[in-house]
Structure 1
Amino acid sequence: MPCLQSTSHPSTFFLTGIPGLEAAHIWISIPFSMFYIISLLGNFMVLFVVGKEQTLHKPMHLLLCMLALTDMAMSTSVVPKALCIFWFNLTSITVGGCLTQMFFLHTVSAIQSAVLVTMAFDRYVAICNPLRYTTILTNTRIAQLGLAALMRAVLIVLPLPLLLSRQPFCANRIIPNTYCDHIAVAKISCGDTTVNRMYALVVVVVCTGLDLTLITLSYVLIIRALFRISSKKTHQKALNTCTAHICVMLMFYPPFIFSSLTHRYGQGIAPHIHILLANLYFVAPPMLNPIIYGAKTKELRDKVGKYTRRR
């Protein structure tokens, strides 16, 4: 988000940064900005290598590109504005800018969840139906699934900022955060936000619950298939193909669920702890995801090594 000068204009909100740690903003910004730069470089490298290498134009690597794009979009929707707060104390943001940030932030999160579901399906087909893999998961089908994920995310998330745009905001326009989260903005409204809160809860439960159910189902079927195979070598190879995906899921879903629950029910948690962890969620997984997949995917690792050695 752009740096906006602090004003008292009625169409302006104020982001405080990390409550209680304002004096340490400069120090917090150092690892924060480093994580952001590393995540951009790592994810750009994935996109560049897959784009350049024809041998990597396969469903699994196209899914890695989708994950890289969502990682870059997620961190970029939060980090630039947060750094404006940390470095220059530019805390103001227009209502329109706040709602736009909220829309992109939640939309990208929903897309990334759908990409993780598709990755689980990819692993299921690769392990349980390897002979039909190339006919079930084609590049065209992956593109169609990506488009479906985008459309689902937009349709689900769009009502959130639209409902909030109709709410009245009174004297208190201070948001104790570095970014515009839906619940944080709803809390400063002086109108009735029952519909907003209920819809947001339904989105989290239905979207996240459905995606986690599908992922769990995929892995149940994978484990059942592995029990039917006696070869330990085949077991090891199959598990290696799933390890990276499981690590990425563990970095995405638990922090996301934790943040959603603490926004609603975490009155006993210190605000600076919650906000600091929420901000790490937007920079740490995007930085680690390309490292995890680079380490676990031999083809990608070899191609990245080729380009780095050349330079």
Structure 2
Amino acid sequence: MSNSNTTDFTNPSTFILLGIPGLEAAHVWISIPFCAMYTIAVLGNFTILFVVKRDLHEPMYLFVSMLAAADLLLSTTTVPKMLAVFWFRAGEISFAACLTQMFFIHVSFIAESAILLAMAFDRYVAICDPLRYTIILTKSVIGKMGLAVVTRSFCIIFPLIVLMKQLKFCRTNLLPHAYCDYMILARLACNDITVHVWYGVAVAILVIGLDIVLIAVSYGLILRAVFLLPSKEARLKALRTCGSHVCVILMFYVPSVFSSLGHQFGHILPGYIVNLLANLYVLIPPMLNPIVYGVTTKEILKRVINMFYRCCSRSSLLS
């Protein structure tokens, strides 16, 4: 450890995650809400997956289960190691493990963006062409859409890993973060990282930006169709079916935008603020998404309540 921040090594086999530099004394206290949020995220998303697999096989709920799976991947890839850093200062991570963590973080992010786009298409068909809803969104089509989501995410992120493996690291093996972030790791390299920066910008604009534009177009068409409905009750009912999805979209994109802006204006904001934003970005959407769908979707809420009622009834009978 004594030579870990010197420049006399090349391509270290191990990096050291520092957690949140500047807030080391508060790591244990920070870990308490983080652990609580992670626990809620795991329980909530597993509950969504269980309920959908058991009872709800309509297209909308299948997309919700895809979202839950992506949330579980994102949070489980990052939070256990994050908590190990906070609790035990176990920040050592091999280069291969760091690349693996980075890969799954970004794959889950790209996948979640694509799933939100697919859900916007689902809402568009449900409201604008309801008579053909079950014809257009068959289980076969949804399966192909899920496969396309995974394939797209892999094809976009895999080149990043290839580019990272070409870099030479000769400055430090200290990562001022709680998990392996692409640009933070790239900035430790001695090589010119212009290609890496522009690839990241291209992904942000051409992939995430395009997803956002298509979601906005879908909701523009949805709103036009809703306001053409004859009665106020019909309009409100149609808008309510989109409410949970809109909340999830905002919870996904807003933290990521703030996290990206934090990295861009890191010279203005304190480093620990930027770091906290990045950490909350992998915790808040996975925690809140199942809560939003569980509370606002009657079918999910009804089955979750019935499931807990049956569990409580069995435990009372056993006692």
TM tier relative to shorter chain: over 0.9
CA contact (8 A) 1:6 1:90 kept: no
Aligned partner letter, 2:29: W
Give 2:18's aligned residue. 16
Give 1:256's aligned residue. 256
Give 1:138's aligned residue. 138
Report the TM-score, using the length of structure 1 for normalisation. 0.95
Partner Cα separation in structure 1 for residue 235 and residue 3 of structure 2: 61
SS at match of 1:13: strand
Runs of 4+ in 1 over 6 A off after TM superposition: none
- Match among 51, 57, 73 for residue 49 of structure 1: 51
Deviations 1:33-64, CA, capped at 9 Å, x for gaps: 111011100111111111111xx111111001
Aligned residues: 305
1:35 aligns with 2:29: no
SS at match of 1:17: coil
SS at match of 1:267: coil
Report the alpha carbon displacement of residue 264 of structure 1 after superposing the two structures with TM.
Answer: 3.3
Give 1:220's aligned residue. 220
CA, structure 1 residues 142+210, in 2 after alignment: closer, same or farther (shift >3 Å)? same
CA, structure 1 residues 149+7, in 2 after alignment: closer, same or farther (shift >3 Å)? farther
CA, structure 1 residues 7+105, in 2 after alignment: closer, same or farther (shift >3 Å)? farther
5+ residue gaps in structure 1? none
Give 2:115's aligned residue. 115
Partner Cα separation in structure 2 for residue 154 and residue 241 of structure 1: 31
CA contact (8 A) 2:17 2:92 kept: yes
Report the alpha carbon displacement of residue 230 of structure 1 after superposing the two structures with TM.
Answer: 2.3
Partner Cα separation in structure 2 for residue 72 and residue 6 of structure 1: 37
1:154-233 matches, within 5 Å, as 154-233=154-233
CA contact (8 A) 2:171 2:188 kept: no
Give 2:67's aligned residue. 67
CA contact (8 A) 1:6 1:92 kept: no
Report the alpha carbon displacement of residue 281 of structure 1 after superposing the two structures with TM.
Answer: 1.5
Report the TM-score, using the length of structure 2 for normalisation. 0.93
Partner Cα separation in structure 2 for residue 73 and residue 15 of structure 1: 20
Partner Cα separation in structure 2 for residue 227 and residue 61 of structure 1: 26
Aligned partner letter, 1:51: K
Aligned partner letter, 2:306: K
Give 1:240's aligned residue. 240
Partner Cα separation in structure 2 for residue 86 and residue 26 of structure 1: 6
CA, structure 1 residues 276+257, in 2 after alignment: closer, same or farther (shift >3 Å)? same
SS at match of 1:77: helix
| Percent of paired sites with the same residue | 51
Give 2:314's aligned residue. none
Deviations 1:199-246, CA, capped at 9 Å, x for gaps: 111111111111001100100000111121121111111111111001
Aligned partner letter, 1:42: G
5+ residue gaps in structure 2? 312-319
